[in-house]
Amino acid sequence: MGSKEFVSCANQGSGIYNFILQKKLAKNHSEILPSIVKSIFKMDYKSFKVFFLINLIVIILPSGLYAQDTTQYIISGRQNAPFQEQKPYVILISADGFRYDLAEKYDATFLKRISSEGVKAISMKPCYPSLTFPNHYSIVTGLYPSHHGIVDNTLYDKSRKQIYQIGNKKTVEDPSWYGGVPLWVLAERQKLLSASFYWVGSESHIDGVDPTYYFKYNEAIPIDRRIEIVKEWLQLPPEKRPHFITFYFPEVDHAEHMYGTKSPHTAEAVHFVDHSVEKMYDMCQQLNLPVNFIFVSDHGMTNMDTLHTIGLPSVIDTTKFVITNGTATAHLYAKNKNDVKPTYRKLKAVAKDYDVYLVKKIPRRWHYRTKDDRFHRIGDILLVPHLPKGFSFSGRKISYGAHGFDNSLPELQATFYAWGPAFKDHFEIGNFANINIYPLIAHILGLTIDNKIDGKLKVLRNTLK
């Protein structure tokens, strides 16, 4: 079989897989088998052989037969200092991609009610770029991405000559990539125990300090079991009980990427998060503990033009640059500084549907310029597409929903709700930057911030009783 024939057959196999994946996420299994049967009967023998091999890989492996690490890691020998045992509790919940308007748009009844009874922000401003890893880490460090080092979901470090990728477990778990002091590190240093049911950096041993209780990211633990584990943490003896807990939901972001923000699948994901947070709240109500909830998202989401993408500009000599890109950003790291300005001028001359910036001229409001870049990880040239178009340097189809664009755009704004004994009742606030959550949580827990941060307590101080 020639290479063209193989690609054609492989496309048939992967097409069937994509159909199955969509139906799996949609929980509509009744259509799967008839469609598979029809597709298989249309294949010739060669196609069937390749289909069989492809689907051994792309169907069986993602179905969960490969091992996911569901171990609860517990750091032995730790306990709360006696004076910390009377401190309140904070559960920081992130629903990835939960845009500021989704609770109203899809009638998330619990979140609508509880946010109206507590503190509700009209919206919350993510950091630029409005991506998952930079913003989750900004929330727990109080730093802009340029100050904590995770400046994109994929980035290049010239001094290390290495690429950090969120899909690469080796780099994700390497503490040397991360600056700042995450809240769990701050708490543990001051003898206040913490726990994490996923968060960017929580499995990375930053400064040699892990949360006392944590899980490596996986999607194999059912939500009811996850909530039950949080309950078990809060029922531990006072000296072993965590006072700061992080909890992460990926479902809304997954649905928006695959189907867009206006899909019934996104609505279903919003309801899943809503019901799950309600279960967790009801569980905590039974424990008679002073538990405070902060519900956030890392960014919003916008719908994309999936038919008209922006390819790699032909004027870029790829032998002279290391290039990292996603749908919303493209970084060009020059191997020789002398190639920066000539390439910049060429790009400016041909740029259509995207902006071109030298790193020292990136908009000041993004806190993303040369003078901000403490770890020197922002590209010498930054390309930013004009919505609704996005980059696809590989030629692959981009997702229906995306983020990472200008953090001032309305559709990229995130969510902030807070309730519990520390917070005012029926209190609404305006838009604010997510870096200000860090000093708020530290204040509630009585932690001393002895490291430099960008967030200010005064921004959210008025939300507290």
**Which 3 state secondary structure label does DSSP give 440?**
helix
Q: How far is it, in rounded angstroms, from Cα 109 to Cα 28? A: 24
Q: How far is it, in rounded angstroms, from Cα 80 to Cα 212? A: 10
246: annotated active-site residue? no
Q: How far is it, in rounded angstroms, from Cα 405 to Cα 326? A: 11
Q: How far is it, in rounded angstroms, from Cα 330 to Cα 342? A: 17
Strands 124-125 and 432-433: parallel
* Amino acid (1-letter code) at residue 38: K
Burial (CB count <10 Å: 0-12, 13-18, 19+), residue 7: exposed
| CA nearest neighbour of 254 among 131, 97, 87 | 97
Q: Which residue among the candidates 70, 109, 132, 415 is catalytic per the annotation?
A: 132
Those residues whose C-beta lies under 8 Å from the C-beta of residue 318, and which sit 6 or more positions away, are 312
Phi-psi region of 102 (alpha: psi -120 to 50; beta: other; left: phi over 0): alpha
* 392-398-401 Cα angle (round to 5): 135
* HEC string for 295-314: EECCCCCEECCCCCCECCCC
Residues annotated as part of the active site:
132
